[in-house]
Amino acid sequence: MTLVTFFFVALIFRIAYLTLAEGENLTAKAIDQWTRDVPVTGERGNIFDKNGVLLVDTETLYTVYVRPVSVTDKTYTARVLSSVLGVSYENLYAKINSKVSEVTVAKKVTKQELNALLDSGVDGVYYAQNLNRKYVYGDFMTQILGFCNVDGMGQSGVESYYNDYLKGIDGYVLTETDLVGRELDGNITRYIAGQKGADVYLTLDSAIQNFVESAVNTAFIKNNATSASCIVMNAKTGEIVAMAQRPSFDLNDLPRDDVAKLFGMSKSTLVSNVYEPGSTFKILTAAAGLESGAVTTDYHLFCPGYRIVDGQRIKCWRTIGHGSETFAEGVQNSCNCLFMDVAMRVGTERFYDSLSLFGVTEKTGVDMSGEGSGLTIGKDLVKTVDLARMGFGQAIAVTPIELLTACASVVNGGKLMTPYILDSVVMNGKTIVKNYPIQKRTTISEKTSAVMREILESVVEVGGGKNAKVSGYRIGGKTGTAQKYKDGQIARGMYVSTFIGFAPADDPEYIMLFIVDEPKAGAYYGSVVAAPYAGQIFKNIFSYRGWAPAAFEEKPTFVMPDLTNLSVTKSVGILAEKNMYYEIDGDWDQNVVIKSQYPEKGSIVSEDNVVLLCL
């Protein structure tokens, strides 16, 4: 009797344990054994530009299954599925007659096709909802928006960086079945809805993005370039307004069969790649010189076409020299001798302090994956000749976004802003994340910034930036033409042509960096290859924003004369009479003749054009 009582008490405790401690687990196992679940993918959040223009949304497609044990008329079912979905009747019929528990018939089935199946009365056919990412404009903001993998999770760009906000929560359709998968009579189908992810709003303006995409594509094709790219940023806040690069691809037609191509072209080179900036870096050198007091605007120099530093002869781009110049004229002429002088006057210690302040030795913190960081020679290893070269943008490498952010601080009053691309995240109509401008530190004084704005505006008015000029508007900027290196040596014929510009020049709202990598169509100077496209983008922005031009005097146009076969001296004299800025490609003396020119003879030009003379 005692033994029976013991076993009875033990049984009660076991039942209590299973009910209280393991109840939920056992219930779940029972549901799993007696139901079939079909996933309902949680819809991914949409992506919008700053003005609410839809950039990315989701279209609903379906995957169709067949459970052979639930099919009454296998011949009829196979014929209907074959007809509606375009699958092989013979293959499908064979699968339906096999002993498998479930057959996947087709993926990416449309709502119309699914309705046709449901209306046909076939049994044993089931479906799962799939959500396909749809990029409204195809090859547009490709590297920014990114794409998702086959499971609907972000793999690059905004899709990846903000995946945790965008991704939805999956739901399920549960159907009661027997042990072999047949539906039970009177079964109850339960639908557990998925939850949509949050919507993401970017700082980008799709209208300005369109201007940039068009200009970049034209520059890439017309110059037969290895690549072309551009980034436009709000100079005051760090908000990225537009960003584009070529080559690229359509986000609705991913080259998944070529993984190297897919990930190579999906990387944002404006954020990840480093390059030797050339003359655009002179903006930072000039600002550092003025801010440190190493030079003033009254500084005068003589440029004979070179400087001897540490026993090495370092050329100015104009090998016969610029002669006597003021500080402003040296910037306008992009005179290498000026910037060597400034860097050496500032000295290694203060120059490197300035590099640190400008942020070119660290990541900017932009909210994009794969950001790179600038490269500099170790301060303890720098020789005077290295410092001189760094002054005009050699012997140092930066990412485009580092350079642009640093230059923005030069013209915005000295505020180094963190660039960003996310404006806000909205969930069920409520803003759950909101980004605001963040100032890292101050780089220069407002006084120095005002001087730099004025000087850089003169570069566009009368210097090498003339091709970026838009009549009636104030634009400042600086061109750059940097040689590329291969295997540690200067690669002949390989250049990076750039232009940094900002507007309005007196109170900048927009700042832009335009890059053409390895142009092969003839000209390669930034003043000729990059500046005109920047000017066109600015012109479109002014029109888009409704900014009226100031009163201006239209410059008279004339037919470009034929300068080929004339001596350099004669050609320069003709251009001087027409008040045209010129650049000369190659080493020369007064008797060397011109082999080719840009613009070509017969072109309609004005004094606002920059002329390139090739020897």
Average pLDDT, the chain: 87
**Where a domain ends, among 154, 176, 201?**
201
- CATH classification at residue 139: 3.90.1310.10
Whether 249 and 388 map to the same domain: the answer is yes
Domain region containing 348: 206-552
Whether 525 and 586 map to the same domain: the answer is no
Whether 195 and 263 map to the same domain: the answer is no
Q: Which amino acid belongs to residue 435?
A: N
Whether 302 and 355 map to the same domain: the answer is yes
Say which residue, 2 or 359, is predicted with more confidence. Answer: 359
Whether 211 and 181 map to the same domain: the answer is no
Whether 41 and 27 map to the same domain: the answer is no
Is 543 tagged catalytic? no
Domain count, the chain: 4
- Yes or no: say if 84 and 51 are a contact pair by the CB < 8 Å rule: no
Which of 500, 437, 525, 482 has the alpha carbon at shortest distance from 230? 500
Whether 379 and 338 map to the same domain: the answer is yes
Which of 338, 405, 350 has the alpha carbon at shortest distance from 374? 405
In a 3-state reduction of DSSP, which class is residue 397? strand
Provide the pLDDT for residue 259: 82
- Yes or no: say if 588 and 568 are a contact pair by the CB < 8 Å rule: yes
Q: What is the mean pLDDT of residues 316-329?
A: 90
Whether 241 and 310 map to the same domain: the answer is yes
Whether 266 and 164 map to the same domain: the answer is no
- Banded pLDDT at 499 (limits 50, 70, 90): very high
- What's the pLDDT tens digit per position in 225-246? 999 999 999 999 999 999 999 9
- Yes or no: say if 273 and 484 are a contact pair by the CB < 8 Å rule: no
Q: Residue 349: which residues within 8 A CB-CB, separation 6 or more?
A: 379
Answer left, alpha or beta for residue 518, where phi above 0 means left and psi between -120 and 50 means alpha.
left
Provide the pLDDT for residue 172: 61
Whether 260 and 152 map to the same domain: the answer is no
Percent of the chain with pLDDT over 70: 87
**Where a domain ends, among 535, 552, 569?**
552
Omega within 30 of 0 (cis) for the link into 556 = no
- From edge to edge, which strands make up the β-sheet containing 596-598? 581-585, 610-614, 596-598
Three-state secondary structure string covering 198-241 = CEEEECCCHHHHHHHHHHHHHHHHHCCCCEEEEEEEECCCCEEE
Q: Counting runs of H as helices and runs of E as strands, what totals does the chain give?
A: 21, 26
Provide the pLDDT for residue 134: 93
Of the residues 229, 279, 292, 571, only one is catalytic, namely 279
Q: Please give the structure tokens belonging to residue 273.
A: 């790649």
- Banded pLDDT at 143 (limits 50, 70, 90): very high
- What's the pLDDT tens digit per position in 104-115? 888 888 888 888
- CATH classification at residue 609: 3.30.10.20
Whether 495 and 601 map to the same domain: the answer is no
Q: Please give the structure tokens belonging to residue 155.
A: 């793999």
- CATH classification at residue 235: 3.40.710.10
Q: Please give the structure tokens belonging to residue 592.
A: 């060397």
- What's the pLDDT tens digit per position in 425-478? 999 999 999 999 999 999 999 999 999 999 999 999 998 899 999 999 999 999
Whether 136 and 270 map to the same domain: the answer is no
- Yes or no: say if 468 and 531 are a contact pair by the CB < 8 Å rule: yes
